[in-house]
Amino acid sequence: MYLSMKYTIKEMVELSGVSERTLRYWEEYGLLTPVRHPQNGYRLYGKKELLVIQQILFYRELEFSLKTIKSLLDDPNFEAESALEKQRELLLEKRNKLDQLITTITYTIKESKGEITMSDKEHFEGFKKQMIAENESQFGEEIRQKYGEETIEKANAQMMGMNEETYKKFTALGNEVLEKLQTASKEGDPTSPLAREVASLHAEWLRFTWPHYSAEAHRGIVQMYIDDERFGAYYQGNAQFLKDAVNHFLDEE
């Protein structure tokens, strides 16, 4: 019965657990549009607004950016029931990935206490699974939307198929990209020889896990670093420079 009622912003804060500041920000961002009281102009939230808040909270739990959430809610083909079914699937996937991480950590704790012994291979395989699970948890939905289910599954399989020597090369190259990117960005010229080297190394690094490398896909992923701050954070504030360096490098190829 309460769903037929209209709530003030303070009442909605109490009902939903979302702060007044956040509700106002979502309104400014275009995610939420409460109706206005015809006499005093106060914000009022009804069934429609409550369901939108629920959708936003589900997507935020799945670590979607507000930009992505807005595009989903603005889609003319968006259906709340179908979205809830999909969100349920994603939450179950996330729970399974978290269970895998918890299992890996539990075994590591037990080994540190001397309760069990894990072989180097078990450590290595567990670490790769953990890396994939963390990546899926944070970015899985976005990268699947952009590159497709099959491509991401192949990339994960390629990661799991790495032997220890290949994995060490992969991680070492990733660290080299970060170090040289930081130096090159300080110089400030994305067309410099060092910036070109960074772009080339980044392409080489991607090939370790990408089933098929292409210039178009490379341009797409550095653009994604800009579009979603979670991706760009990995590059310590240098995502824009990396994008410019990669685009210049690919233009010259």
Q: What digits encode the pLDDT tens for the residues 76-110?
A: 887 877 877 887 887 887 787 777 767 777 777 77
Mean pLDDT, all residues of the chain: 83
Query: Domain-by-domain residue ranges, the chain?
Result: 2-74, 85-160, 164-252
Cα separation of 131 and 239, whole Å? 21
SS3 43: strand
**How much is the pLDDT for 3?**
45
Annotation: CATH topology of 2-74: Multidrug-efflux Transporter Regulator; Chain: A; Domain 2 (1.10.1660)
Checking if the pLDDT of 28 tops 50, the result is yes
**pLDDT tens digits along 113-170:** 877 666 656 666 666 777 777 677 666 666 777 777 777 788 888 888 878 788 889 8
Count each helix (H run) and each strand (E run) in the chain, helices first: 12, 2
Determine contact, residues 198/184, Cβ cutoff 8 Å: yes
Checking if the pLDDT of 45 tops 50, the result is yes
Question: Does the pTM exceed 0.75?
Answer: no
**How much is the pLDDT for 176?**
95
Question: What is the chain's Cα-based Rg?
Answer: 23
Cα separation of 217 and 248, whole Å? 15
| CA distances from residue 67 to 57, 78, 238, 240 in whole angstroms, order as listed | 14, 15, 21, 18
Cα separation of 106 and 108, whole Å? 5
Annotation: CATH topology of 164-252: Globin-like (1.10.490)
Fold match, 2-74 / 164-252 = no
- CA dihedral 36→42→45→48, nearest 10 degrees, is 10
For residue 3, give the DSSP letter. Answer: G
